Structures are given as C-alpha cells and as structure tokens.
Amino acid sequence: MIKSKIVEAPKWTMFAVFFSYGGLLTLTLTVFYWEWSGPASLGVFYLMFLAPIIMLLCAYKQYKIRAISNYHKWLFYFSMGYFILAPLTFFIVFHFSKN
C-alpha cells in the first residue's frame, strides 16, 4: 500500500473480512476433520448473526471509497461476496457432514 501511495489503509475492514472468512474456513475444517465443540458453536453464532451485519457495514463503507485503489475495490467485493459464500458454505457443511 505504500507503493500505491494510499494514505490510510482500511485496517479494520481488512481485519473484519479476514476474520469472517477465516471463521468460515474454521467451520468447514471443524465439521469435516475435527470434533464439534463449544467454541465451534460460538463461531457459528458469530458467522450467522454478527458477521453479516459487520460485512454489510464494511461493504457500505468500501462502496463509498472503492475508487481510491484496488485494495478498497476488492475489499468491497469480498464484503459482498460473503453473502454468497456463507450460505453456500453452511449448506455444504451441514448437508454433507459426516454425522
């Protein structure tokens, strides 16, 4: 971002996007390879109820400034992509799980 001469990096938005997508990956790995646990249930609660609100706020914030750089544009795309990938992940995980 320094080479792109971006004055203020969207650090919190990047953190929220990576945290949410990391939660989807952790959920998938937990269901298919590990044992279900209390923290896994809390993660599903976050992914179903809190992450959509956070991702919608991130998408709204990035929509207004997406023309600044490719980083902002792709954060907008990833924030909106959550609404496609999360339901797809939930369907795959709970429909094709080993239990």
The domain limits of the chain are 11-95
Identify whether the C-beta of residue 60 lies closer than 8 Å to the C-beta of residue 54: no
Task: Assess whether pLDDT exceeds 70 at residue 4.
Answer: no
Nearest by Cα to 89 from 24, 35, 2? 24
Q: Which two tokens stand for residue 35?
A: 């044992």
Q: Give the amino acid at 45.
A: F
Provide the 3-class DSSP secondary structure of residue 48: helix
Whole-number percent of the chain with pLDDT over 70: 92
Q: What is the pTM of this model?
A: 0.88
Task: Assess whether pLDDT exceeds 70 at residue 40.
Answer: yes
pLDDT at residue 79, as a whole number = 96
Q: Looking at residues 21-50, what average pLDDT do you find?
A: 93
pLDDT digits (tens, 9 = 90+) for 56-83: 999 999 998 888 888 889 999 999 999 9
Provide the 3-class DSSP secondary structure of residue 47: helix
Residue 90, number of CB atoms within 10 A of its CB: 16
